[in-house]
Amino acid sequence: MTTEQEILLSKINSRQAKVAVIGLGYVGLPLAVEFARVGFHTFGIDVDHRKVATLNAGRSYVIDVPQSDLAEVVISGKLTGTSDFGVLRGCDAVSICVPTPLSKTHDPDLSYVISAIDEVAKHVHPGMLIILESTTYPGTTDEIIIPKVVGNGHEVGQDVFVAFSPERTDPGRKDFTLKTTPKIVGGATPACLEVASALYSHVTGRTVPVSSVAAAEMAKLLENTFRAVNIALANEILLMCDKLGLDAWEIIEAAATKPYGFMKFTPGPGVGGHCIPLDPQYLSWKLRTLDYNARFIQLAEEINRHMPAYWVNKVVDVLNAAKKSVNGSQVLVLGVTYKPDIDDLRESPALDIIKLLSKLGARVSYHDPFVNSLKPEGLETPCVELTEGYIRSVDCVMVIADHSIYDWDWIRASARAIVDCRNVFKKRF
């Protein structure tokens, strides 16, 4: 064990280490708050000055971070927000939690990761631990992160330490949180793994060490590729049952009674959030560079991306049954977030559904208790007050996210027609 590793482990174990979290979104802010809550002096770094100001005012803007928890660590001085990367000079550990979107050509966009590690590289020093949490393809840490670090003359595993530990954030979830969800950790060397595992042991009940950073990167992609493929299968079962005149939900519920060998997935309007629609494409892209065609991933994406059009066709069908054209009809969309009871619009299929309906000439409005405006998404769709009178006035109600705040009894009783993507009422069209 080197002197730098021994000193860093001592600081971590005594919670005297200073920790920085780069990226204060759905992943970074909860992580920063948790590090601060257990006693680490923590800096939250973000180039968005509004997020930094909101954090420093003790106001939470992420649904998984209670206002009281954030205010407590800010007031105590354990958590400070900043846009100045210079604070890294005094930090012992830094976790990178920035977005990893896809480009318009569906290739990985690592510009945020590269920008973050470029800033870290300016301030890297002996005894520093650098962890990437952003989801990415296997090889990113080895190919991008480590060269930036050793480019400054440091030796990984000797005087600086590098690891990958994929985030496992599921916004709005209460049963599995940062503290209760096992944390996968892969180190660039055994020393790196030991140091990173020691740090995360303070904020999670269990760390899961793997053999390399690439193994940790791959494990994360497997998790979400598994979900994407199985959601696509459930969506295709819906398409099949539609052709066969069967109720897909009845079939799935019946199959789910088998106590082994079956895991229940349900159909819906598509897939949303940062992970499921995007992560499998990182794996598919990486395999294309190795002359391999990831056919399951491509087929799953094709099916899932088709679902908004499928549900729009159902709106057309119910309007036709009422002798109405979709062109000029009023359609109310209930819930525009990608899952219930959160404010997250990332990759929400509701946005595609609204665009498709509007393109057909429908007059679309929406209600969502968590989203006041869709203008930042480029949609001029009005947000309306949800009343029985308004529901009676529209030609069709379309359910996307079944928020628990909705009173489904009077919504169902008041609506002229309902197209329910989430099967809230266990009854089809």
Whether the pLDDT of residue 428 is over 80: the answer is: no
CA distance 291 to 270: 29
288-302 burial: b if 16+ Cβ within 10 Å, else e: eeeeeebeebeebbe
Stretch (H or E) spanning 183: strand 183-187
Q: Write the CA distances from 393 to 175, 200, 387, 415, integer angstroms.
A: 39, 54, 10, 8
- Is the pLDDT assigned to residue 384 strictly greater than 80? yes
> Which of 36-50, 145-159, 233-247 shows the lowest mean pLDDT across its residues?
145-159
- The tokens of 319 are what? 């309007």
C-alpha neighbours within 13 Å on the C-beta side of residue 213: 28
DSSP classification of residue 383: B
Q: Tell me what pLDDT residue 425 has.
A: 57
pLDDT at position 60 over 70: yes
- Helix (H) or strand (E) segment spanning residue 147: helix 146-150
Find out whether 347 and 224 touch, Cβ atoms under 8 Å: no
Q: Residue type for 412, please?
A: R
Alpha-carbon dihedral 187, 189, 195, 201, rounded to 10 degrees: 40
With a CB cutoff of 8 Å and minimum separation 6, the contacts of 304 are 228, 231, 232, 235, 270, 271, 277
Rounded-to-integer distance, Cα 245 and Cα 233, Å: 18
pLDDT at 274 over 90: no
Instruction: Using a pLDDT cut of 70, give the percent of the chain over it.
Output: 99
According to the model, what pLDDT value does residue 429 have?
39
Q: Which residues are catalytic?
A: 275
Compute the distance between CA of residue 82 and CA of residue 93 in angstroms, rounded to an integer.
Answer: 16
What band does 169 get if pLDDT is binned at 50, 70 and 90? confident
**How far is Cα 360 from Cα 381, in angstroms, rounded to an integer?**
14
Give Cα 152 distance to the centre of its chain: 33
Residue 190 pLDDT > 90: yes
Across 148-152, 227-231, 391-395, least confident range: 148-152
Q: Which two tokens stand for residue 335?
A: 């819930």
Mean pLDDT of the chain: 94
Q: What is the mean pLDDT of residues 157-169?
A: 96
Please state the length of the chain.
429
pLDDT in tens, 204-218: 989 999 999 999 999
The whole-number average pLDDT for the span 247-259 is 95
Q: In what order do the strands lie in the sheet with 128-132?
A: 79-82, 41-45, 18-22, 93-96, 128-132, 160-164, 183-187, 207-210
What CA–CA distances, in Å, run from 62 to 271, 336, 369? 21, 17, 15
CA proximity to 167, closest of 338, 31, 18 = 31
Which tens digits make up the pLDDT trace of 33-50? Answer: 999 999 999 999 999 999
Decide if pLDDT at 345 tops 80. Answer: yes
pLDDT at 294: 96
Amino acid type, 267: P
Do the beta carbons of residue 399 and residue 421 sit within 8 Å? Answer: yes
Angle subtended by helix axes 248-255 and 213-244, to nearest 10: 130
- Convert the pLDDT of each residue in 107-137 to its tens digit: 999 999 999 999 999 999 999 999 999 999 9
Res 168 pLDDT > 60: yes
Question: CA 399 from chain center: how many Å?
Answer: 22
Ordered domains of the chain (ranges, CATH): 3-211 (3.40.50.720), 308-420 (3.40.50.720)
Mean pLDDT of all residues in 173-196? 94
Residue 417 has φ and ψ, to the nearest 5°, of: -150, 145
Give the residue from 325, 340, 329, 156 showing the smallest Cα distance to 266: 340
Q: How confident is the model at residue 426 (pLDDT cuts 50, 70, 90)?
A: low
pLDDT band (50, 70, 90) for residue 70 = very high
Residue 152's pLDDT band (boundaries 50, 70, 90)?
A: confident
Q: Convert the pLDDT of each residue in 76-101 to its tens digit.
A: 999 999 999 999 999 999 999 999 99
The tokens describing 109, both together, are 């966009």
pLDDT tens, position by position, 370-383: 999 898 778 889 99
